[in-house]
A and B are shown apart, each in its own frame.
Chain A
Amino acid sequence: MHIDRRELLKLLGFGGVVLGSGLPGFSLAASKGKPPEDFMFLQLSDSHWGFSGPPNPEADKTLKETVQAVNASKLKPDFIVFTGDLTHTTDDDALRRKRMTEFKSIVADLKVPKIYYLPGEHDASLDKGQAYQENFGALHQSFVHKGVHFIALDNVSDPSGAVGDTQIDWLKSELGKLDKDAPIVILTHRPLFDLAPAWDWATADGAKVLSVLEPYRHLTVFYGHIHQENHRTTGNINHHSAKSLMFPLPAPMSVPKKAPVAWDPQHPARGLGYREIEVKDKGRALNLEEYDVRGGRV
């Protein structure tokens, strides 16, 4: 599969592009007789549709511009996954549903075969996921794409930010069907590890979830919530967060009080950037390259 690098970088400016063959374990699956079929998907996150305020005076434009940019690209991802906080929270149930309807209407224009959604706490915590399920379906799910197993976990509909024992049992059941060398992608909103618990950047029972995941040797986690790229390894597992489509947040615990990075009118797309993930060592290693939104390497 040939990918035009300029197109790739352009797309990466709005989220994370992941090459299927770049996932740990992918080539191993291929060597066991499965077709070595490359594919690509996009991770978009934290669009916070409905937000308004100084951190993004163009809040009603960013998501629409992203949709246009993805559609204008020559690249055609197999699917897109939104890793939560599709909408910005509100105490008003009717307004929450209105925002979800508007969000769906905007992303319906994406020219992509399939979109998967995950809830964020802004979508699902205040009503335990009721409006989310009405609009987007199940709070957690699994699917297989070209030999890669995807498991989307819900760590937000419980307002304490826990996955919960019932879902952990389901996760064990899903993983129990798989070989320990199977390529697996876990999708979540919150980080599963304690990135910055004092900033609520953690999952209440994340340690329990990670103990279930740890035996699987080729497992990668993609998440959102923290509005910036972050790359961390726990045991065998690599964790990669995505940028937001609304406003960036500061690096974990880098300032006394967590608050959105101030809007810069000279650089309205600040905080948008891209991450390239390439395959190395027959799919067993990830080569990550970070770029700013204008194409300069960071």
Chain B
Amino acid sequence: MKGVVLGLAVGISLQLVAHAVAAEASPPRVIKMTAKKFEYSPAEVHIKKGEHVVLELTSLDRKHGFKLPELGIRADVPAGGTARVDVTAEKPGRFPFACDIFCGDGHEDMTGTLVVDP
């Protein structure tokens, strides 16, 4: 009887591991964004709590920055190029982001918000 219980427990554990591996293996949702003087588009991005996403930021003009301080995230978005930023937020809320590479008269307006829904 003890052996049967042990076997069942191992079976369940293996199933859980398989599910976990499958979940990890599924690619994160990619959210495409653009950056240009002096705006991000979209300027408001929604993700779910605990969801792993990749923000794929493409600059349409010059070099910009992407800084999301509350999640400890920053990246350069090269001129005409793309930056990929991994984001997983563990708590719901509204988290502002901004360009942190001075890009001209309007730089201060280049902001947005990551909204983490419960």
Asked if A and B are interacting partners, one says yes
B111 touches A121 (CB 8 A): no
A90 touches B105 (CB 8 A): yes
Stretch at the interface among B10-18, B52-60, B93-101: B93-101
A200 touches B108 (CB 8 A): yes
Task: Find chain B residues with CB under 8 A from A159 CB.
Answer: 63, 101-103
A122 to B107: give the CA distance in the assembly, Å.
10
B104 touches A126 (CB 8 A): yes
A199 to chain B, nearest CB (A): 7
A286 to B2: give the CA distance in the assembly, Å.
76
Task: Find chain B residues with CB under 8 A from A258 CB.
Answer: 108, 111
CB-contact partner of A121 in B98, B102, B109, under 8 A: B102
Known: A257-B111, A258-B108, A258-B111. A198 touches B102 (CB 8 A): no
Number of B residues with CB within 8 Å of any CB on chain A: 20
Task: Find chain B residues with CB under 8 A from A197 CB.
Answer: 67, 69, 100
A55 to chain B, nearest CB (A): 12
Closest Cβ neighbor of A249 among chain B residues: B108
B24 within 8 A of A: no
A158 to chain B, nearest CB (A): 9
A160 within 8 A of B: yes
Tell me which residues from 37 to 76 in chain B have a Cβ below 8 Å from any Cβ of chain A: 63, 65, 67-70
Task: Find chain A residues with CB under 8 A from B69 CB.
Answer: 194, 197-198
A179 within 8 A of B: no
B105 touches A161 (CB 8 A): no
Task: Find chain A residues with CB under 8 A from B109 CB.
Answer: 259
Known: A198-B97, A199-B98. A89 touches B70 (CB 8 A): no
B19 to chain A, nearest CB (A): 37
B115 to chain A, nearest CB (A): 12
Task: Find chain B residues with CB under 8 A from A88 CB.
Answer: 105
Task: Find chain A residues with CB under 8 A from B103 CB.
Answer: 159
Task: Find chain B residues with CB under 8 A from A160 CB.
Answer: 65, 100-101
Task: Find chain B residues with CB under 8 A from A43 CB.
Answer: none
A91 within 8 A of B: yes
Closest Cβ neighbor of A50 among chain B residues: B105
B91 to chain A, nearest CB (A): 16
A21 within 8 A of B: no
Closest Cβ neighbor of B102 among chain A residues: A125
Task: Find chain B residues with CB under 8 A from A259 CB.
Answer: 108-109
Task: Find chain A residues with CB under 8 A from B98 CB.
Answer: 198-200
B67 touches A198 (CB 8 A): yes
B67 to chain A, nearest CB (A): 7
A250 to chain B, nearest CB (A): 12
B102 touches A126 (CB 8 A): yes
Task: Find chain A residues with CB under 8 A from B108 CB.
Answer: 199-200, 258-259
Known: A198-B69, A198-B70. A161 touches B104 (CB 8 A): no
Task: Find chain A residues with CB under 8 A from B101 CB.
Answer: 159-160
A51 to B107: give the CA distance in the assembly, Å.
14
A200 to B68: give the CA distance in the assembly, Å.
11
B100 touches A204 (CB 8 A): yes
A199 to B100: give the CA distance in the assembly, Å.
9
B105 touches A89 (CB 8 A): yes
Residue in B68, B70, B100 whose Cβ sees the most chain A Cβ within 10 Å: B100
Question: What are 10 sample pairs from A and B whose C-beta atoms fall under 8 A apart?
Answer: A89-B104, A91-B104, A194-B69, A198-B70, A199-B98, A199-B108, A200-B100, A200-B108, A204-B100, A259-B108
Which positions in B face A, CB cutoff 8 Å? 63, 65, 67-70, 96-105, 107-109, 111
